[in-house]
Structure 1
Amino acid sequence: MSPEEEPEYQTPPTCELLGLLLKNRRPTGAVNEVWPNLYIGDAATAQHKSLLVDLGITHVVNAADGPQHICTGPHFYKDTSIQYHGVEAPDSKDFDLSPFFTETADFIHAALELKGKVLVHCARGVSRSATLALAFLMIRERLSLAEAVEAVRRHRNILPNVGFLNQLRHLDSSLAPERKTTQHQEGKK
């Protein structure tokens, strides 16, 4: 089948994504490696500096930054070599997390390029941090939203709130033509 004959990719509806996220759930720990050198974890993990050192974490993304949330920040890690990126985001379906997708994906990508290990965390490591990790996989690893969800779910139970899921669906739709062009060009090689 030529690329022109392939059915057009459709971003899955929210109910289908929720089905993917909720199927076969099993207990997951406080922190899990969800992609090579990319970890999702909770606040307690982020605040446990000796654990981070043991894991070899070089970069931390706090998706719940700020005084009303989990106040770690660069000052918290000043006695380590950890690089820090904070996103001040409430876990609210009405909060627009999408303006942070690209800058956070770029931060994670740069860390991985340097052979670093990245912890993305929020309070429980389920919604905000998962959303930013999924956005990274879509933007930088060129996975579709469904592929990104499947990849992360193999290692950790995640459940972005419905507002974040819809923002990821929008990102997926906007990246789909780019993915198709890339796949078409790779097929010609």
Structure 2
Amino acid sequence: MSRTSKPYPSEVATLKNIVTKDWSLPNTSVDEVYPGIFVGNAIIAKDIRALAHLGVTHIINAACGVDSIRFVDTSELFYISRNYKCKFLGIPAMDVPTYQLNRYFNETSAFIDDAVQSGGKCLIHCIQGISRSATLVIAYLMMKKELTVYDALSLVRNKRKIWPNDGFLVQLLELGSYHSRMRIAYQQNNYSLR
């Protein structure tokens, strides 16, 4: 199947209905979408005082790069030079449907989980805080909290106005399908051992 084809047309439509209901641009720079997990935009990512006030200990820049039109120019050095102590992970993702953001799902989920498990707080941001960053948080909720794609998307959408692009929605559906197959295989394996 090509990267541009839509293998889940009805499922993507269902997810888009969740996203687009009463949609507008977020009216805040950051929202806590799950305890200790914040989704935000480039403005909050560069506001050291606000990050300190929120208690952010871990930062994922899901739009890491120097081109200010498509990326947010922050890095570990950005925070060190401003005397802000945090763990940092930069992902050079583009917000286009053909971009394979799923190659970062494991790494970012482990990073977010490290923050939460250690009692810290994680900011996941991109330029607007609606597509790349939201997709990574939804993947985390699916992988680490075992939520379905629909439940994870709804949970994040109820806390922040988000709009992952269609390609990212397909990747989340593929992640959900994979986890569903793994759960079934695990259950069948456990049943056969009895």
| TM superposition score category, shorter chain reference | 0.7 to 0.9
Residue 45 of structure 2 corresponds to which residue in structure 1? 46
Where do 1:68-147 residues align within 5 Å?
68=67, 69-78=71-80, 79-147=83-151
After superposition, the C-alpha distances for 1:28-70 in whole angstroms (9 at most, x for unaligned) are: 4110000001000000000001100001000000000012211
What pairs with 1:139-178 in structure 2 (closer than 5 Å)? 139-178=143-182
1:89-131 per-position Cα deviation (integer Å, ceiling 9, x unaligned): 1111111111000100000001111000000000000000001
AA in 2 matched with 1:22 = T
Q: Measure, in 1, the Cα distance between the counterparts of 2:167 and 2:9.
A: 15
* Alignment TM-score, normalising by the size of structure 1: 0.87
Deviates more, 1:102-111 or 1:22-31: 22-31
Runs (4 or more) in structure 1 with deviation over 4 Å come to: 179-185
Distance in 2, Cα, partners of 1:143 & 1:92: 25
Q: Distance in 2 between matches of 1:115 and 1:183?
A: 32
Distance 2:33 2:165 in 1: 19
Q: CA deviation at 1:24?
A: 3.4
**Gap regions ≥5 residues in structure 1:** 1-9
Q: Which residue of 1 aligns with 2:3?
A: none
Distance in 2 (alpha carbons) for counterparts of 1:130 and 1:161: 10
Shift of residue 183, structure 1, vs aligned partner: 8.9
Q: Which residue of 1 aligns with 2:4?
A: none
Equivalent in the alignment of 2:5 = none
Partner Cα distance (2:21, 2:126) in 1: 23
Check the 8 A contact 1:61/1:86 in 2, yes or no: yes
Work out the CA distance in 1 between the residues paired with 2:136 and 2:72. Answer: 16
Distance 1:87 1:34, change over 3 A: same
Whole-angstrom distance in 1 between the partners of 2:161 and 2:183: 26
So what's the TM-score if we normalise by structure 2? 0.85
1:149 alignment partner, SS class: helix
Aligned-pair Cα RMSD in Å: 2.1
* CA shift digits 1:123-173 (9 cap, x unpaired): 000000001010100111111100101111111011100111111111110
Identity across aligned pairs (percent)? 36
Q: Would the aligned equivalents of 1:20 and 1:150 in 2 still touch at CA under 8 Å?
A: yes
Extract unaligned runs of 5+ from structure 2: 1-7
Aligned length: 176
